[in-house]
Structure 1
């Protein structure tokens, strides 16, 4: 070997050695840095868990941290919070995850996926088989149901690929099958921004209910996608979409109900003034079949705007603090019904806080559609802060005016659509098609006549219609103006008087017919 070639070889060896030293030193440094930040990361996670879901009564911790040169290991532990009753775990239960940590700047696990971006660590997470999680291991063939790989950046941001393993379990008449699923979660270093997406292809559960009947539930095509950011007023604002292609339930081999194309889309955001919040949730169902009868499809769009951010924050703090006290009270831990009652009373007591921004609620629309038409309900409700009212509320008008600025609503039910729906319902009850159609026609005409008799509804183009507006103590019901007391009197509520019922309109069936007994099947 000549001198030049030897020189080049020595240089190459020197470069390799230098790279090895740098790699080793970097791995040692990032491992130590990660260990130093672990307590802070766990503390932040618990603060967020307590704030976002105090009723869970859970605390996250870690144990058995062992740092090596290139790898470290530890366990994450989820257990009930001391002094609180967990809604998920009993005092002696815990969920434990094994964490295998490859140190940066280029973790081996990350290089396997050809990800060449420098990072502090790559963490492999699996579930530990203990008395709490043993049933899950039993149906997952003794494997960890959860297998996650998380990349931790030097800024603290994380990106996780989470795999839910397939399940296939049978024990007598019990059966569970699951295709598995893939989910992704990205979180920035401060925990301010979170993005979650993923899907699961299919699943099946066979069981026997309390009546000894064989029940089967199946689903196909579950998906979710969304992101959120921390807000100074509420825990998070953002959007999340969830959908399921098909959900079916059968009993004793007979299909009872099938839902197709169910989509839920929710979002919340700050308004332009950065002081108020708004939110919207959309529901859409493409098809509902009950015992092979096409019941129809439905949708709902519910919006709420102009929520005062500071008031919402105060409401959240008070509600969370008081609910945690209830969870810590042994008396309520042993009495779920009393706990629920206290929660409702707690919400009602703090509800005036949510009215501080003069919020607006709209339903546009709530609808149900079948082959014969579509029924719709629309609502626009402008509320106001009762704390701004003056004087004493001595009448129903005074009481309502303290919280309601205006209301505008309208209900439209096509007669043919309603008749078709009631025909399907009657057939489900055991009536033959011709008999069910006749009964449904009588019922809808009778109800329409009753609505007109009490001036609650009118007939327009073969539609049953009801509209109600309210503002400044003045009510307009189906185009007729009246004081609020008259409206209350129509329904037997306290008021200053009740108007006489209008004469019944002349329809084919002026009264509600008696409903015959359901025939034996």
Structure 2
């Protein structure tokens, strides 16, 4: 009997403690909601590329274990017109152990959590398309350090709007988002298993897309960002006039596409690199081949030039480098690389580059005629599975005529065509200029920097010794 009384007492004490903690957490949420909304709005407004955001709440009701209110999120354009992104009721379950989290098997302490599900009233068409249930569910939680985690999942859907001629089909997909209490560290992960969207003119299909990324902001206002995207296969194209089937002759399809982006902002400069590869690229019925690209850059950011010191001037230099551009098809490889380092003298236009602001220029291009004309013939005949001899010969004649006409006297670009195939036909560039080293090269031959600029300004290559 005593054991029963003790156990009952413990349950009562725990229950009272939990009720008191939950009530106290509700007060914390109420006292801090305005400041948190202002903080989020201010952080979004710092990103000039994003539209202004207006976040408001109304009809606020606080209970012991939960708080509910109506949340409205609007974007505001330059004409002060508002576009509503979200307008619905939100319920926050109080910590330290929100009931919504306990039901999902998460017993870690949290200040609050909420589950939002799209309602039938908000969009009846999507409700029906999802099988008479919420199309999307959003789970979010905030711990006592005010770090936020959010997950969003949609139900499989088959939605049709006959009036707009739109059809949307999607499997169950997910998105995860994590933000720290100062909005200085953001992590995002997303996955689309399958998505198909068709309207009266366009068709889009994505299979097995995976997205990961993070942004870290530092105290000196610098930041680092990283994003990786991979798509097993995707397709974009046009719809036939009967508005039923994809026009395969006017479509672009990719297999095994990968994109990797890194960027960092610090000391008034933006640096980063970009790499991408695709295993197959189709245009209509033509398999154009596969390719990869790797580039990096260092770019100046806008700042007050009137406060600039002599040491700051070097920070305005532009540096862009294409480490690798490679395309491979059935006839061979097309490749290119270049480096460009330019002194930004009071934002001088690119067409006014001269000895004063060009620091370094280097380019290597190799476009053999066979893979080049084969690719051109493929692009000209997307309705075929592969170009025939007549297609290739026709394109080759046009390319030889145009290149011979416009590139024969070029001081930069070499064009070789030998009907007897004694040398490799194609387009090539071998260019080098260094202001610091006082060296230059055109078409693989060393020249003075003065001759380099004369060749460019007069469009004529100097005589070599």
Q: Does 1:119 align with 2:73?
A: no
C-alpha distance in 2, partners of 1:366/1:468? 16
Q: Deviations over 1:242-280 (max 9, x none)?
A: 222222235333313312222221112368xx7855211
| Partner secondary structure for residue 282 of structure 1 | strand
Equivalent residue number for residue 241 of structure 1:
228
Equivalent residue number for residue 187 of structure 2:
195
Equivalent residue number for residue 38 of structure 1:
33
Residues 1:454 and 1:441: Cα distance change in structure 2 (over 3 Å): same
More off after superposition, 283-292 vs 245-254: 245-254
| Partner secondary structure for residue 30 of structure 1 | helix
C-alpha distance in 1, partners of 2:95/2:286? 59
Preserved contact between residue 57 and residue 85 of structure 1 (Cα < 8 Å)? no
Correspondence 1:8-407 to 2 at 5 A: 8-53=3-48, 55-81=50-76, 84-85=78-79, 90-91=81-82, 93=84, 95-127=86-118, 140=130, 144-172=134-162, 174-209=166-201, 215-232=202-219, 236-248=223-235, 249=237, 251-252=239-240, 253=245, 254-255=247-248, 256-269=251-264, 277-305=270-298, 307=299, 312=301, 314=303, 356-386=315-345, 400-407=354-361
C-alpha distance in 2, partners of 1:388/1:163? 47
Structure with higher strand content: 2
Residues 1:121 and 1:203: Cα distance change in structure 2 (over 3 Å): same
Preserved contact between residue 385 and residue 402 of structure 1 (Cα < 8 Å)? no
Count of aligned positions: 431
RMSD of aligned Cα (Å): 3.4
C-alpha distance in 2, partners of 1:198/1:205? 18
Q: TM-score, normalised by structure 2?
A: 0.82
Equivalent residue number for residue 308 of structure 2:
none
| Partner secondary structure for residue 208 of structure 1 | coil
C-alpha distance in 1, partners of 2:293/2:31? 49
C-alpha distance in 1, partners of 2:49/2:317? 28
Q: Does 1:466 align with 2:426?
A: no
Shift of 1:134: 7.0
C-alpha distance in 1, partners of 2:424/2:57? 68
Residues 1:355 and 1:369: Cα distance change in structure 2 (over 3 Å): farther
Equivalent residue number for residue 457 of structure 1:
414
C-alpha distance in 2, partners of 1:130/1:474? 72
Q: Deviations over 1:357-412 (max 9, x none)?
A: 434211111232212212111111122242699xxx9xx99x52343211111111
Residues 1:236 and 1:179: Cα distance change in structure 2 (over 3 Å): farther
Shift of 1:139: 5.3
C-alpha distance in 1, partners of 2:190/2:204? 21
Q: Does 1:427 align with 2:415?
A: no
Equivalent residue number for residue 415 of structure 1:
369
Q: Unaligned 5+ residue runs, structure 1?
A: 1-5, 210-214, 316-352, 491-497, 503-521
Residues 1:354 and 1:58: Cα distance change in structure 2 (over 3 Å): farther
| Partner secondary structure for residue 400 of structure 1 | coil
Residues 1:92 and 1:150: Cα distance change in structure 2 (over 3 Å): closer
C-alpha distance in 1, partners of 2:390/2:399? 14
Q: Deviations over 1:206-230 (max 9, x none)?
A: 3223xxxxx5332211210111111
Equivalent residue number for residue 323 of structure 1:
none
| Partner secondary structure for residue 57 of structure 2 | strand
C-alpha distance in 2, partners of 1:283/1:275? 27
Preserved contact between residue 268 and residue 303 of structure 2 (Cα < 8 Å)? no
Equivalent residue number for residue 3 of structure 1:
none
Q: Unaligned 5+ residue runs, structure 2?
A: 305-311, 417-422
Runs of 4 or more consecutive aligned structure 1 residues displaced over 6 Å after TM superposition? 128-131, 429-432
| Partner secondary structure for residue 315 of structure 2 | coil
Q: TM-score, normalised by structure 1?
A: 0.74
Equivalent residue number for residue 393 of structure 2:
438
Residues 1:478 and 1:440: Cα distance change in structure 2 (over 3 Å): same
